[in-house]
Each structure stands twice: as structure tokens, then as C-alpha cells.
Amino acid sequence: MKISNALLALVTSSTIALSLASSQALAAKGITLMQLGDVHGHMHSHAEIFPDGRIDTDSGGIAKLTTLINQVRADNPNSLLLAIGDTTHGSGEMTFSLGDLIMPWLNSIGIDAFTPGNWDFGYGPRVYRQRFTPDTAIQLAPNNRTTVAWLIPGCNVPGGLQATTYEQCHVTKATFPTVAMNVYNFNEATGINNPAQAPGPLVHQPYVIKEVNGVKVAVLGLTSDVVPQQAQAFNTGFRFTMGYKEMPVNIAAAKAAGADIIVVLSELGLAKNVQLVKEFPEINVMFSGHTHERTPEEIVITHADGNYSLVTESGEDSFLGRLDLKISGSGKIIGYNWQLIEADSTVQADSTVEAMVDAALSSFHDKLPNGENNPDYKCHTFGTNASPFGKGHTLCDSFDKVIGHTKVTIQRWNALEDTSNNVMVDAFLDLAKNLDAVDSKGNYLTDANTLSTTNGFRFDIVIPGSDDGFSGDITVGDLYDYYPIGAASALAEFTGGRLKQHWEGILSNVFDPNPYRQRGGWFLGFTHNMHLDIRLSDDFPRSISDGKRIAKITIDGNRFDDSKIYTLASCYPHGNPIDEVCRTSGATNLRFITAPQETCDHPATFAGGIENCQLDMSDDSALEVVPPVVTDAQLPVFDPSRAPQFRQVAPDNFVHPVDALRRYLAIHDVNLAEDGPTRVNAIDPVPVSEHGGTVIVQPTQGAGPEWMKREFVTADTENQQ
């Protein structure tokens, strides 16, 4: 029997194909990637609400995370630990140590690559460069030394920038590789008079290649591009991009260096990261951070050629992501399994790390576990930008001191409104109305002319309420988990039109249909005297020039007037221009609230005889409203051509937002009727996320007309729309 040449060729090619497929399968190698995301300095265990809705009061924290990491490594030694997002910022213990208390743990757990988040820049460039770059020449600023003087004796030295050397006073340096392709050095002093000055070289290496089980894994980093919208003092000397132009260049370089697969650690947020993967199919795995989303199921992006990429986000410290990959001999992913592992009460805390946490946090607790007085207990001062050495915001209360009660469970987990932000802004408004202060027109501050808003922050710790069967206790430590920044409480005046314009901008940041125009954070919190109706349907915004999503605003039952002057009780980030409070520019009549210090037994002590106690908020009549301490002749606040570059603006005894919360919670129990989410009404509901579904808080596709969206057309980036 004759076999045709065509049939013979077909049989032969099929045999070869099957043989190749078999050899590829035999050559397949398994590796595991662990995703550690947005830990936010949560060292101890705490309450958490898990995706199935249960509240667990013994979850998260670095001791449980250590247990999970060790379990994964024991199960598969061929693994990499990849950390992404805000890590050294987000709690009281981080605030009062410049993030240093968590560094011994980070340096001990074997991180293979790390990409920083926007809040890792939150202590200023000197701390950041000391910690995450090889620089050993830069000195800490006087306010930095104030914060860590209790922790590092060599820092307890008054004077200017040259008062200490790096050897005498520095934060703990990271021993793991930091990768970021989109943050550059910038010379502010020369750039101030040279608008054409280009950014300098990269601050970090753009990627590292790690070989595990014979697979070369390129880990590329994208840090957050929202740092410039934060306090000026955070990003001085840096310039940030979104990394779009840098991505293909570094993918090609990593491939040329022998990489088999491309893994990206990106702090741009889930929406941007999904879009990047659509447009750069060479990315095999995207570990997303910044938006604190949880993906119990991986997001699979299928490309035109039939290949796919995986996108995951692992929330905060109550989760560890595990991605098992099967890699073919040709370096292609041929199988995977994703797990979002919960660090709940069933996970045994690592005893060594737990002891380390207890020792590190000892000075923040007035009692030992046996109930006896703690000899290590002391007050702590956070030195705010441009404040003299030894001055700043001081905490003396023990972290576990109960200062309030909540009936409703408090959390930040809503794109539009939540109880936590409502309580916060009501505390600021109540403080403002009880100051016996007047505005620039001589009117006392009332519900009719005064309001407050919070930023769309995401850091938090769940506080279980008594209505859900828990104690409902709110502690001092809880307050710093919700407000771990050093801003000063402030009063400022705006026209209604300017405020409305700002709020429209925030809505656009959260819900823009083009993911690259979304910019981290959720919508603002508003006081009880405010009500907003907003539109999130496909018809809004109607056009680029008519970007309105807010249909109606009322204050104290009356329509909000674009032409009227309102007082905003808000926060002032130290180092910003005096016309800007909490990211809202255009302010006039900026003023600060001050209070006297309490008498305390364990003051924060500094060289030169300086002793600090926390502020006494018990008597409203002792509070004062004062102007900025900076004079007109000293402006601008920031000038890189002089030394010091920043001027002090807030007075030494400024009231911190946590002080305002301590005062308010002493007289107000949090409850659903007064504090629940009834102030922002979405006429059209928040859309379900196109990617990730109902578990995703901020929809990846935003909200708005289809024609405003960015769609992937071709791999040719010149033809994107």
C-alpha cells in the first residue's frame, strides 16, 4: 500500500508536533510567586472583614504573614517573595519611628524584589534615600531626628542638617533589591530657573532577574505616579512618570538579558495595571498594588494571539498571594493556580516575630501583659516638616487606651462614602464650631457656612462595632491607623465654586473611563450638614468641557452657593503653599488651631532640655485660632535655592487630626443613624467592575460614556486611542 507524500508529511509533522509537545511538558518547571502587598506598617494582628463577610478580630500582622511565607516556602522551595506597595507607613508605630520599626522584619524575610508605594515617600526624600538607595552621605533633617531620637540615640542632637553624620544618625537601610523604572532624580536648585531641565538618572534599577528552578524571572517595578499630588515635602528631588514609555524598553532589555518570563510589580492601581497588561502582552504576570483591592480569583487578560496574562492584587496585611506557575521549556506559562491566602485567626503567629513586635512596640503601651506598669512606656514626638528640632506632634496616651465607642463596625471599603470618614469630618466640624472663631466677614462658624472633607485615604484597620457583637471599643492606636500622617488641623476659606470644582476633579480621578486618568484614592468624606447627589451613568460626563457628575449639593438644607465664601475645617500638610489645605488649592485666610500641653509623667525628651507632652483637648476655651507663623517676607514656603528649603508654617502646638478625634469621641458614640453613609447619594449606582466583579471596590472601567474609554487597538503604540 502506497502512502502519499502529502499524507506522509502530515503524519511526520504531527508526530514531530506531538513529540515537541511531550518534550515541552516533560521539561515544564514549577515555580511559586508570593505577593506581599500594601502592608502599611501593620505589625500586630487586628480585626478584619474577609471577602465572605465574616469579622475576625485576630487577623493580619507580620507574625502571621511570616507563618504563611514559611509555609509556602516549605511547600515549594522554588519560590520568590515579591513585595509591593505602601509598607513602611500607615500606623502609629510607623509614624513615630519613620517606618523604622518594621525594617528588621522586612530585612529578615527574604524579599526577592520590592517596589515602593506612594506612602513610602511619606517621611520625605532624606528618609527615603537613606532607606531604599545605597546613599550613605545624605543626613536626616532636624524634624526627622526629632521623630527617631527615642529610637536612635545618635539622632538626639539639635542643630541643622550638618549636626550629625550618616554614621551617627540614619534609618535602617533595606537589604533587599528595590526596583522602579519610573522615578528619576531631579536637581531642584538648578531646575527652578530652568523649565527645560530634564530629570536625571533613575533612582532605582528598573528590574532584577531572579533564577528559580531554572526559570529566569524578570521582576520589573513601577512605583506610584501620584506622589506629586501629595505634600511637596514628600517628592522633592524626584520626578515621576507613569512608566508607559519605559515599559517596552525594559521588557526588551530583560528579554535580551535572558529572562524567560516578565513579572511586573506595579503601584499604579488595579485599573491602570489591567490596561497596561492589555497593551503590553509581553507581561506574563502583573502583581498590582496601591488600590488595596482583593482578587480571590485571578484576572485573566487574553490577547489576540491566544496567549494570556495574569493580574492579581492581594489587599493589605491580612492576605498573602500565592501564584503557582508551570513554565514550559520554551519559557511559556502552560498552567497556573492562584490563591489569596487569608491570615485569619486559624493561622498561628510566628512566635519569634511576635516577640519582636511586642518588644518593638513596648514603649507605646503603659502596661505590661501581666498588668504591671511598663518601664519602657514614654511619650513620642513626630517632627513635622520644617519644624525645629524637638518640636512637632506628640502622643502620650497608650496605644490601647480606649477613647471612644462605636455601635457600627468601622472600615474604609467604599468608593463613595463610609462611616469612618463621616466620623472624622464631623470631628473637625465640631471642633471648628466650638472655637469661638469668626470668618473673614465676622460670621461665627456654623453648619450654614462651615464644612469639612477628608481625602480619599485607604489605610485603615477594621474596628468591630457593638451592634455586631463586639466590644465597640475605639483605641488611640486605632486613630493612628486611620490618620497616620503629621498634618495640622486648619481653617481656610474657599468659594463654593472652587470647592465644587475640586470635588468634580476627585470624582473624575475615581471614575474616569480612561484608566490612565484615574488617580488613586476614593471619594471624599463630607460632614453631616452636607448632601450631594451625583451621576455615575454612561451619560456623565457629557463631554470633556462639561465634566460635571455632581447634580446637586446642599449645606444645612440650603443649596450650595458657588459665589459664597465657606470655611473648610481641614488639614494642612506641612511644606505646602499657604493657599492649599488637604490637596485643595485656592484657600484664603488660612489659620491654625493650637492647644496647651498636658502635664505628663513620661515626656518625650530631647537634647537642650526640651520636653513634650501631648495636647490638652479637654477645655475648648483654652484652644486658640492663630495665623501661620511664616511671614510674607519669608514666602514662598518652598524655595530650593535657599537653606532651609522649607519654611515652618504651622505653629509648634498645632492641633493634629487625632487630637480632634480624641476630643470628639469623648462626647460622641459612633452609630449608624448619625454617622452612616447617607450624605453622598449616587443617583446611578457605582458600576460593577468589568474585571474582578463585585469584590472590586473601584471599578476598573470607571463610570462614564463608552467613547471616553481607552481601548487597545494594536501593539503599535502610535496607534492607540
For 48-92, write each residue's pLDDT tens digit: 999 999 999 999 999 999 999 999 999 999 999 999 989 999 999
Residue 420 C-alpha cell reads as 469612618
pLDDT digit string (tens) for 435-479? 999 999 999 999 999 999 998 888 889 999 999 999 999 999 999
Pseudo-torsion of CA 469, 470, 471, 474, nearest 10°? -130
Q: Rounded CA gap, 55 and 344, in Å? A: 10
Please answer whether residues 310 and 284 qualify as being in contact, where contact means their C-beta atoms are separated by less than 8 angstroms. Answer: yes
CA distance 504 to 175: 43
Say if residue 4's pLDDT is above 70. Answer: no
**Measured distance CA(218)–CA(254) in Å, rounded:** 6
Q: Does residue 7 carry a pLDDT above 60?
A: no
Average pLDDT over residues 125-139: 97
Relative to beta strand 308-313, strand 285-288 is: parallel
Return the number of other C-beta atoms located less than 10 Å from residue 57's C-beta.
Answer: 14
Residues of the chain with CATH 3.90.780.10: 361-682
Percent of the chain with pLDDT over 90: 88
361-682 folds as: 5'-nucleotidase;  domain 2 (3.90.780)
- Assess whether pLDDT exceeds 90 at residue 713: no
Confidence of residue 519 (pLDDT cuts 50, 70, 90): confident
Q: Tell me the per-residue pLDDT of 86-110, one tens digit each, with 9 for 90 and over.
A: 999 999 999 999 999 999 999 999 9
Q: Quick one: 470 exposed, middle or buried, by C-beta within 10 A (0-12, 13-18, 19+)?
A: middle
Residue-averaged pLDDT of the chain: 93
pLDDT band per the 50, 70, 90 thresholds, residue 6: very low
Distance CA 219, CA 268 (A): 16
Angle ∠(6,8,12) on CA atoms, nearest 5:
120
For the chain, helix, strand, coil in percent to 5 are 25, 25, 50
Residue span(s) of the chain under CATH 3.60.21.10 come to: 26-350
- Give the Cα separation of 571 and 263 in Å (integer): 39
C-alpha cell of residue 593 = 488651631
Confidence (pTM): 0.94
- Has residue 567 got a pLDDT over 70? yes
Residue 544's identity, in one-letter code, is: I
- State how far the Cα of 76 lies from the Cα of 263, in Å rounded to an integer: 19
Phi then psi dihedrals of residue 388, to 5 deg: -65, 160
Q: Decide if 510 contacts 522 (C-beta within 8 A).
A: yes
Residue 25: predicted pLDDT: 52
CB 218 within 8 A of CB 231: no
Distances (CA, A) of 346 to 56, 58, 60, 385, 676: 10, 9, 11, 42, 31
**Confidence check: pLDDT of 401 > 60:** yes
What is the C-alpha separation between 424 and 675, in angstroms, rounded?
10
Q: State which H helix or E strand residue 494 sits in.
A: strand 488-495
What's the confidence (pLDDT) of residue 19?
A: 45
Selected residue with higher pLDDT from 519 and 29? 29
Mean pLDDT of the 139-167 span: 97
270 in helix, strand or coil?
A: helix
Residue 1 has pLDDT above 70, yes or no: no
pLDDT tens track for 287-328: 999 999 999 999 999 999 999 999 999 999 999 999 999 999
Whether 210 shows a pLDDT value over 80: the answer reads: yes
User: What cell numbers appear for 630 in the block?
Assistant: 511664616
pLDDT score of 17 more than 90: no
From 97-101, 173-177, 411-415, 518-522, the region with the lowest mean pLDDT: 518-522
What letter would DSSP give residue 105?
Answer: H
Cα dist from 545 to 202, 540, 548, 708, whole Å: 36, 12, 9, 13
Q: Give the CATH fold of the 26-350 domain.
A: Purple Acid Phosphatase; chain A, domain 2 (3.60.21)
